[in-house]
Amino acid sequence: MKKYILPTITIAVLLLGFLIGNAVSNKANAQRFYIQNGRLIAEPDSKVEQLLQLMQSAYVDELNMDSITDEVMSEIVKKLDPHSAYIPKKDLELVNSELSSSFSGIGVQFSIQNDTVSIVSVIAGGPCEGVGVLAGDKIVTVNDSAFTGKGITNEKVMHSLRGEKGTQVTIGIKRAGTDEVLSYTITRGDIPVHSVDAKFMIKPDIGFVRVNKFGENTYNEFVQALAELKSQGAQKYIIDLRENSGGYMDQAIKMSNEFLNSGDLIVYAQGRAYPRYEAKANGGGRFKKVPLVVLIDNFSASASEIFSGAMQDNDRATIIGRRSFGKGLVQQQIPFNDGSAIRLTVARYYTPSGRSIQKPYTLGDQEDYDKDLLERYEHGEFYSKDSIHLVDTTKYYTAAGRVVYGGGGIMPDIFVGRDTTLNTPWFNRCVNHAYTYQFAYQYTDKHRAELKKYKDWQSLEKHLLAANWLPEFVEFAKSKGIEPDQAQIAKSKPLITRLINAYIVRNVLGDDGFFPLFERDDEITKTAVEYLTNN
């Protein structure tokens, strides 16, 4: 579920928010009830409000109305489309922080390994760096309470380490080489949230930019990345939106504007109580003529599809990859007085050619909706373009007259299926159980002092290739219950080597090292580079 910033919504939706807001009020109002013939009668309001008021005022035992109200609200919203959502007060800050430009915390990236919080990296300039916390440290206590064991989850860690700016938290650290628990009291501060994972020159004239979401500051980060790559000699660009589930609509519009001519339609949206809204390019874009490729996959959704659709329908970029998710609904976040909120679907959006890319859904049937990607996989769509089935057979036309279709995502101009030639059951089990990731972290932790000597991914990869860690990984997987199969190991060796080396590089150098190494051998990326080289 993602929030979109759009023009002010009409009075009908505001009225709906007001009515629902009344329903969640926890304050008893005795004047709404009266006794008639020995019975308690409620004054005529909505049924939901009447029920909650009756329960609060007349039920035989005292109730936790906050909890009950949250459950009632969630159940009501579940009857709507799959992307409308009720967000309780306790979850709202964390949900909103996903798309914000920053949040307040201690400034670490972590991973839970063996029921222990392990620090993968310390964010430069963050509070933890200032007090001396290091990558590889393990958090074992928080505010003098034990912080290990089966109950440790990502959500619990974030709730414990994040907090209001200026507040303090004390963490106990176990560090390799010492038996004592090191104590650090950290003052929480603003931690930037980045939308651009990577920006690098993949060829002397081709720049690569990966965008992981459309948050508050995505456009600014994006144009800065393009400018930096241009200064390094980029004349052509690859924009990677794979696994980007969307975010703010206005950020996708601003990004699209950089590549389109004045008056080009980017997207339009409309709903039953939502007047048609059109976004058009203003002609001020700085990259209107550069050759462009956009990468998408089955997890590219929402704002990613707005950007991809605008580029495709205006014949501005070549879309490469696999069919996108198919989310063409617009949500508006409406707050309630108690600190909770609803993200209500108020409109559908349409690409410039007039197509809706929303995949089919049944009101209230979230389970069936969630099975769509699994069904696509089982039908072979991830591997073969011929297996793709679009429910909307209406023909739509791009600016140049090319035929495109809606009704279930953006279809790429060039389809690239998953390459399974090196896959084996042994490799798949290792990946599916995340043993590749776990081994990479443990290997990094064990050799951290040596690995830190390398300052670029090329030299670090060369070192790792010479290190020949594969037998060690095979034994690690065996200890987890995956018996070695030498034929399968030999076949999948290039995949194992690429994946684990990339993970180790990320642990040492961050995403700036990970993505250039990982994308170098990616089939979709190689197709994009070949296309831009030849066109």
H helix or E strand, kind and range, residue 268:
strand 265-271
| Residue in 313, 445, 511, 522 annotated catalytic | 313
Calculate the alpha carbon distances from 433 to 47, 224, 430 in Å. 48, 38, 5
| Residue in 84, 245, 256, 302 annotated catalytic | 302
- Phi, psi torsion values for 227, nearest 5 degrees: -65, -40
Annotated catalytic residue 491: no
Annotated catalytic residue 304: no
Q: Which residue type occupies 265?
A: L
* β-sheet with 318-321: strand ranges across: 196-203, 206-211, 236-240, 292-296, 318-321, 414-415
Any idea what DSSP says for residue 214?
B
Nearest residue to 242 (alpha-carbon basis) of 343, 173, 322: 322
| Residue in 304, 327, 372, 492 annotated catalytic | 327
In angstroms, rounded to a whole number, what is the distance separating the alpha carbons of residues 294 and 126?
A: 33
Annotated catalytic residue 313: yes
| Residues 262-292 as b or e (16 or more Cβ within 10 Å = b) | eebbbbbbbbeebeebebbbeeebebbebeb
Q: How many Cα atoms sit within 13 Å of 303 on the Cβ side?
A: 30
Q: Which residue type occupies 47?
A: K
Any idea what DSSP says for residue 8?
P
| Strand-strand pairing, 414-415 and 318-321 | parallel
Q: Which three-class secondary structure state does DSSP give residue 370?
A: helix
Neighbours of 233 (CB within 10 A): 12
The catalytic site residues sit at: 302, 313, 327
